[in-house]
Structure 1
């Protein structure tokens, strides 16, 4: 669990608990209590857990501000994996608020339980209208609660694609019959970005290694694809079901992240104007961003560098999605004047720009400037595996093998495997 973003509020544990124990009506801003219950994720203590339980028990589900705090308190207990809070979370399964129910199901899954009564209560939610069924199915699958099979099967024809994906994958896992898993793989090309992201998770959970090539080409952020390949490697290599050498080409394809290696699901009816294409780099659906990236490389090769620098100064410097695409494009465009900007952002430690550091490493390798060797090698001490791997790729591109020597005994088996491989 990545907790880098949970420390932005600066409260002490005692301050957060004091806010939680203050009636909502007495607070100057009702969002203070939401912040407090969020912040206690940083304090895995009995006091914090007890305070979060009180936040649930003293809330009034009939009032919106109370419901919002209640939902978040349940989520925080899940993140803390607070087993002692299971009884109060279980009671929240009966809430009329579907988002509280959703968080409760998720929290129970995070905490983990083999209690058949609790799992049956969760399963019965599949019979209740209006619920967020994907979360329920996902939790039951990970709990290996096969008694829910009949209820889950009803959702294999669901209109909602993420729900249908979860149901099909779960039925495959429960029955051992993977003949229908192709329907999940097909959703990697759905126009619905949430379906694309969801089915990747379902393929991870199913340990369906045969889908790795298709996952690598799925038009979603490389964050989702890298996570998938890493989790499948970590699961499959120790058991001998897959090898690093088999997955290595796909892993490196994702790290390079060139739009020609993506199966795009969007297209333009007519050749778009440059300003429109630049604006598309900020879309939350990365499928549209990859189409824009490809268009810049195919059509606006000469105009693109200056347009990218302009959009960087305008808003990409502060937008982590657009920032990533600008950094990567400077490399594909061989824009040597972008060297200093790439080096600066290679060392940008702000958590929201983490994937941009990987983009900068790849881009520096594309520029071919030998000055980058030293900069890239300084990043080999990072705990961020994908950045380290990207630096090794870039160093190889620059003809430097000393990075491999440095990483030959790395603590991460995957980095060791790359460092000692022939490719």
Structure 2
């Protein structure tokens, strides 16, 4: 579960604890307690933990109280609050399926870091209680199965195995991955790799996470072609490449670099498309598809714009930018990327702006801007790329290296990075 910060509400620890302990009927807005429980993720103190525990124990089965209970359990998981385990354990028997799901996940967070100095060992009784949740209808079986794998509970293997054939492919993928982690049924992993091409984007994203969880670095080439956002693929490749290289099972030059470059470039021809049109769409339709959350559809639209509308596309993309792409981070990314693939020189200033855009939601657009500037071939971009280096993520730094190499600006730079994949790329280009 993603750790979401509620710092925008500017609640201090004291204010959050006070709100959380206030009965709902005394609040102007019943969501205040939920916000307080969320905000306490920023305060790993004993007082915060105790307040969250008390919130779980607060009587009342109304929806507002259930939501607060769920969030309190989740926050305790993020805080890895071992002292809360007895309370969280009781939640495994709750009537609310979401509270149960959060309880299972939180236990995995608290006890799942086997090599952590503050590792918490669980007795078999609680591990059995988690496993038994698989028998209850209406639960999130994916989370339960993933947690059992994280906790390394091999005794659950026989009860997980039937879920490999689950109709819900996200559950099936989790079961296959978990049995692999537990050392059984290792021959089934190629099924997860095949699911990277499923029509359902949530299945594709779930499979990427399962491949990360299993350190299945032999799937890097297939991950590079998976039609999901570049962000998901880069995260997976980074995790798997670092592990594989540390174990000396793979090399950067042969097993990582070609596929990492491919994802950073992110041309639609290098993505295995899972959608198709039954007839050639209009340019208006294709441009609108760039705003879809399923990037499989975005890549199909991008391919169409490049192949069917290369002359008309720049004007349509500029109009899209002025309309809403400038504030829609998905559309913004695709528009910037297309300017590069179309070699559209008039977009130079927009691409420089994208390169330097440090708003968190536009991180991937900075990568698109760097690659597009390299494509345009203007030497003026060298200084812009170098100046963006220190404010960039590892993905942006990697893209900057590719762009500088294309522009002939790499030899005159003294760029350095502590990230192993960026270091490897630097060595590759300079070697």
TM-score tier, shorter chain, comes to: over 0.9
Contact residue 346 and residue 360 of structure 1 kept, 8 A: yes
The reply on whether 1:420 has 2:427 as its aligned counterpart is yes
**Correspondence for 2:116:** none
Contact residue 5 and residue 41 of structure 2 kept, 8 A: no
Q: For residues 54 and 13 of structure 1, what CA distance do their matches in structure 2 show?
A: 15
**Correspondence for 2:418:** 411
Contact residue 361 and residue 387 of structure 1 kept, 8 A: yes
Q: For residues 343 and 59 of structure 2, what CA distance do their matches in structure 1 show?
A: 57
Deviation at 1:292, TM superposition (A): 0.6
- Pairing 1:23-422 to 2, within 5 Å after superposition: 23-58=23-58, 60=60, 62-112=61-111, 113-115=120-122, 116-245=124-253, 246-382=255-391, 384-402=393-411, 405-407=414-416, 410-422=417-429
Deviation at 1:4, TM superposition (A): 7.9
Contact residue 312 and residue 326 of structure 1 kept, 8 A: yes
Contact residue 5 and residue 42 of structure 2 kept, 8 A: no
Q: For residues 55 and 302 of structure 2, what CA distance do their matches in structure 1 show?
A: 47
Deviation at 1:383, TM superposition (A): 5.7
Q: Which moved more, 1:194-203 or 1:78-87?
A: 78-87
Contact residue 3 and residue 78 of structure 2 kept, 8 A: no
Contact residue 282 and residue 322 of structure 1 kept, 8 A: yes
Deviation at 1:3, TM superposition (A): 6.1
Contact residue 6 and residue 35 of structure 2 kept, 8 A: no
> Any idea what SS the aligned residue of 2:9 has?
coil
Q: For residues 249 and 204 of structure 2, what CA distance do their matches in structure 1 show?
A: 25
Deviation at 1:76, TM superposition (A): 1.3
Q: Deviations over 1:50-81 (max 9, x none)?
A: 22222212152x21111111111111111122
Contact residue 207 and residue 232 of structure 1 kept, 8 A: yes
Q: For residues 3 and 347 of structure 1, what CA distance do their matches in structure 2 show?
A: 26
Deviation at 1:9, TM superposition (A): 2.2
Q: For residues 425 and 243 of structure 2, what CA distance do their matches in structure 1 show?
A: 17
Q: How many residues align?
A: 420
Distance 1:404 1:209, change over 3 A: farther
Distance 1:403 1:240, change over 3 A: farther
Q: For residues 217 and 374 of structure 1, what CA distance do their matches in structure 2 show?
A: 32
Q: Deviations over 1:128-172 (max 9, x none)?
A: 121110011111111111111011001011000100111112223
Deviation at 1:195, TM superposition (A): 0.8
Contact residue 20 and residue 51 of structure 2 kept, 8 A: yes
Give the TM-score, by structure 2 length.
0.93
Distance 1:346 1:95, change over 3 A: same
Distance 1:128 1:81, change over 3 A: same
Contact residue 197 and residue 224 of structure 1 kept, 8 A: yes
Contact residue 144 and residue 174 of structure 1 kept, 8 A: yes
Q: For residues 3 and 146 of structure 1, what CA distance do their matches in structure 2 show?
A: 28
Q: Deviations over 1:198-222 (max 9, x none)?
A: 1111111122222111111000111
Instruction: Calculate the aligned-residue CA RMSD, in Å.
Output: 1.7
Q: Which moved more, 1:14-23 or 1:292-301?
A: 14-23
Contact residue 38 and residue 72 of structure 1 kept, 8 A: yes
Distance 1:420 1:3, change over 3 A: farther
Q: For residues 73 and 93 of structure 2, what CA distance do their matches in structure 1 show?
A: 13
Residue segments in structure 2 that go unaligned for 5+ positions in a row:
112-119
Contact residue 370 and residue 396 of structure 2 kept, 8 A: yes
Q: For residues 163 and 3 of structure 1, what CA distance do their matches in structure 2 show?
A: 22
Distance 1:66 1:145, change over 3 A: same
Deviation at 1:402, TM superposition (A): 4.4
Q: For residues 10 and 391 of structure 1, what CA distance do their matches in structure 2 show?
A: 36
> Any idea what SS the aligned residue of 1:190 has?
coil
Q: For residues 184 and 383 of structure 2, what CA distance do their matches in structure 1 show?
A: 50
Give the TM-score, by structure 1 length.
0.95
